[in-house]
Amino acid sequence: MTTIKLSERLLAVASHITQGAIVADIGSDHAYLPTYLVQKGIIQKAVAGEVVVGPYETARNSVFRHGVSDKITVRLADGLFAIEENDGIDTVTIAGMGGSLIATILEQGKKRLQHVKRLIVQPNLHAKAIREWAVSNNWELVNEQILKEDGKIYEILVLEKGVISYDDLELLVGPFLLAEKNSIFREKWENEISQWTQVLSSLEKAVETPELVNKKEQLSGNIESLGKVLEK
């Protein structure tokens, strides 16, 4: 039985899981994350949820091959509907998808989060959609992490129940990441600013409509406020 070797990205997600947790990993195509967590003795047990048949079968076979079938239940289900009342799930992980899709999964299945204490999500892009969902649904950020692996930058958001509000900049870049402003954060947002600047200059040549004016204002507002943040 081989021990799972996780990517840096999934190792970072794993680092936010508390000892003894019962985890639902949603979108678990190989069930690598829950398998690692079981092998390391970090979690009691897990559900690995997957909506597509092929990856679901891959996850089931992998769990069997790694000898962790007694601790990991693999379910073919859409989003949080993989979680059942008796599972006792207290932690949900959703990694490797777009932020809007993660926010949709959270919104559609939020009734299944009643007993969940911690959400650990790793959007590949558009983390803002998750922060906005969190604020509207009484979840607050308790930690954030940014990392770079194989040339790609990833954010991890750790949420627990709580009532909070964030300003527009915090929603966009993350309050914890903004407070830290490390070199990866700077690299990410310098890249975004240069892309927005290119988009803005191409929009300058387009015929003006109310939507276009709106879009341009939003882009220049973001460029200005982030520019100030990165100056400091």
* Residues of this chain that bind ligand SAM (CB under 6 A): 10, 26-29, 49-52, 55, 78-79, 95-97, 105
Distance in Å, CB of 131 to ligand SAM, minimum? 19
Distance in Å, CB of 51 to ligand SAM, minimum? 4
Nearer to ligand SAM among residue 75 and residue 222 (C-beta): 75
Nearer to ligand SAM among residue 28 and residue 222 (C-beta): 28
Whether 116 and 49 have beta carbons less than 8 Å apart is answered as no
Residues 57 and 214: their CA atoms lie apart, in Å, by: 46
* Distance of alpha carbon 59 from the chain centroid: 20
Residues 131 and 81: their CA atoms lie apart, in Å, by: 22
Whether 45 and 74 have beta carbons less than 8 Å apart is answered as no
Nearer to ligand SAM among residue 6 and residue 22 (C-beta): 6
Nearer to ligand SAM among residue 77 and residue 226 (C-beta): 77
Q: How far is CA 155 from CA 139, 149, 173, in A?
A: 17, 11, 10
Reduced 3-state DSSP string for 128-148: HHHHHHHHHCCEEEEEEEEEE
Pull the structure tokens for residue 217. 């204002």
**What's at 153, amino acid-wise?**
I
Distance in Å, CB of 196 to ligand SAM, minimum? 26
Distance in Å, CB of 67 to ligand SAM, minimum? 21
Nearer to ligand SAM among residue 49 and residue 174 (C-beta): 49
**What's at 144, amino acid-wise?**
E
Distance in Å, CB of 174 to ligand SAM, minimum? 19
Distance in Å, CB of 55 to ligand SAM, minimum? 4
Residues 221 and 227: their CA atoms lie apart, in Å, by: 10
Nearer to ligand SAM among residue 100 and residue 220 (C-beta): 100
Nearest alpha carbon to residue 47 among 58, 67, 63, 61 = 63
